[in-house]
Chain A
């Protein structure tokens, strides 16, 4: 967690928005490490320490965390759905099986509604896109600091656990859809695809350049907006989670008594020990209220008193805001996965229709 001054708040945000990058640093690059400055003699493949090194790598860099999380979630998806498929019987399905059947039926009806061509691949593609993107987005609901902090203790410097907040992942998926669109356009329509690009909307040979320009812009805008929409939504959501998380830092040890004690004992650095004690005491009071040992009015009074003395009002507010945003975000992550899937189906359906 960061302190209150803007410089370290900015650092906190930037740290959270930095991917774990593995790539090639060019020869002659000056590396600033804890042991001083080191000038690289030759091109080196290494992990980047910070944004400047990641930027210096240029093209030859890979976001290790995005790749690991997205591929890992893809494997989890395959494993889960395979397990359900192997176990499927004609009898009454159990809980998990029921859930998988629900998703597959939902995807099936959506595909039947909006895809009118003949293609065996579209429904499985839609299922993969929907569940995979949903799982990637779901990582957004884990507490922002949990996994990066744990991995930091294990020695991994940067970690972005939501792959869909990485434009490379979302644009990569959109590019995959775009390639499929082109493939089926050419396969189904053949020369008709060229005709569609040049003779539409003005059906005259003199308008070919204008038609081509308009249709090409429309064609290229599809994958671009597809990838950017998912990225933008997830990025904004993640950003708001990070901003709310900073309230905890502002709230730690700012109570009347604990703030002073904290400064006496530990200096300027924020330290959560007092806040932790207060938190446990508040939890204890609430528990006693639940068991009927203390009246509700007294519980509220004692809790407010503890928070005033020990700090934690900000943390409580921050916690409530995290919950609120997370609940709203459940809608967003499902909706974005659904939209990506529906638009993929619609684009592929357009590729299968002969007349425009």
Chain B
């Protein structure tokens, strides 16, 4: 019932919250590191993208499951 929608909302919200904190820390540290040692910039950026992908994965999986809940599960249980 409505709980399905609530579950999707919590899933999206908390996932976004965690990812935002992670991304913020990651980007901040990258800029810090590059400012200290500019010659390491390209190497750090490559590693940053790798970690950004790792962080991004969890909330994006959450988005997929939430969309499935809202548009497939919720109509079929009759919200």
Contact = CB atoms under 8 A, between A and B. Distances in A.
Interface stretch (A94-102, A228-236, A252-260, A301-309): A228-236
A7 B72 CA distance: 9
A13 B72 contact: yes
A232 B53 contact: no
A339 B50 contact: yes
A70 B14 CA distance: 34
Contacts of A338: 49-50, 53
Contacts of B71: 9-10, 13, 243
A335 interface: yes
Contact of B54 (A10, A17, A235, A339): A339
B75 A233 contact: no
Interface string A1-25: 0000011011001100100000000
A235 B53 CA distance: 15
A125 interface: no
A10 B76 contact: yes
A228 B53 contact: no
Given A240-B67, A338-B53, A232 B60 contact: yes
A232 B75 contact: no
Given A335-B49, A335-B53, A336-B53, A236 B63 contact: yes
B61 interface: yes
B57 interface: yes
A236 B67 contact: yes
B13 interface: no
A9 B72 CA distance: 8
Contacts, number: 58
Where chain B touches its partner, the secondary structure class is helix
Nearest to B73: A10
Nearest to A228: B61
A239 interface: yes
A128 B48 CA distance: 23
Contacts of B60: 232-233, 236-237, 332
B5 interface: no
B52 to A, nearest CB: 7
A10 B72 CA distance: 5
Contacts of B52: 335
Contacts of B67: 236, 239-240, 243
A135 interface: no
A129 B52 CA distance: 20
A211 B75 CA distance: 47
Interface in B13-64: 49-50, 52-54, 56-57, 60-61, 63-64
Nearest to A238: B64
A239 B76 CA distance: 17
A207 B37 CA distance: 43
A232 B57 contact: yes
Given A10-B76, A13-B72, A229 B64 contact: no
30 contacts: A6-B75, A10-B71, A10-B72, A10-B75, A10-B76, A13-B71, A13-B72, A14-B72, A17-B72, A229-B57, A232-B61, A233-B56, A233-B57, A233-B60, A233-B61, A236-B61, A236-B63, A236-B67, A237-B60, A239-B63, A239-B64, A239-B67, A239-B68, A240-B67, A332-B60, A335-B52, A335-B53, A338-B49, A339-B53, A339-B57
Interface of A: 6-7, 9-10, 13-14, 17, 228-229, 232-233, 235-237, 239-240, 243, 332, 335-336, 338-339, 342
The 4 residue pairs across chains A and B that have the minimum distance between CB atoms? A236-B64, A232-B61, A335-B53, A6-B75
